[in-house]
Amino acid sequence: DTGVSQDPRHKITKRGQNVTFRCDPISEHNRLYWYRQTLGQGPEFLTYFQNEAQLEKSRLLSDRFSAERPKGSFSTLEIQRTEQGDSAMYLCASSREDLTDTQYFGPGTRLTVL
């Protein structure tokens, strides 16, 4: 299996700029998750897709955050008008639609907002 991939691996931006991250899940996985991890903390759930449907987005941190998965394959996470507090690792995970739903994670995108 090819694992979950994320692009870019690192992003440095200035406050106020928009950024977009991409996640490519494992090919046969129809569920896709986004998490955020800040220093010294565990990952924090943001949003979830089953195929192209975004079934849970109430945990997105603000209306500056949005995510899409237009064709049920790759997904993008966009942060508009970035703030220094957005600096974190953004992790993507995918899973099969089965009872166990084990999530496999990508390498993450590390965002630094200056």
**Closer by beta carbon to another protein, 3 or else 16:** 3
Q: Which of residues 46-65 bind another protein (CB under 8 A)?
A: 48, 50, 55-56, 59
Shortest separation between residue 81's beta carbon and another protein, angstroms? 26
By CB under 8 A, tell whether 72 contacts another protein. Answer: no
Which residue in the block uniquely carries the two structure tokens 């975004």?
54
Tell me the C-alpha distance between 68 and 63, whole Å: 14
Query: Within 13 Å and on the Cβ side, how many CA atoms surround 71?
Result: 5
CA–CA gap between residue 82 and residue 27 (Å, rounded): 31
- Interacting residues toward another protein by CB under 8 A: 31, 33, 35, 40-45, 48, 50, 55-56, 59, 89, 91, 93, 95, 100-108, 110
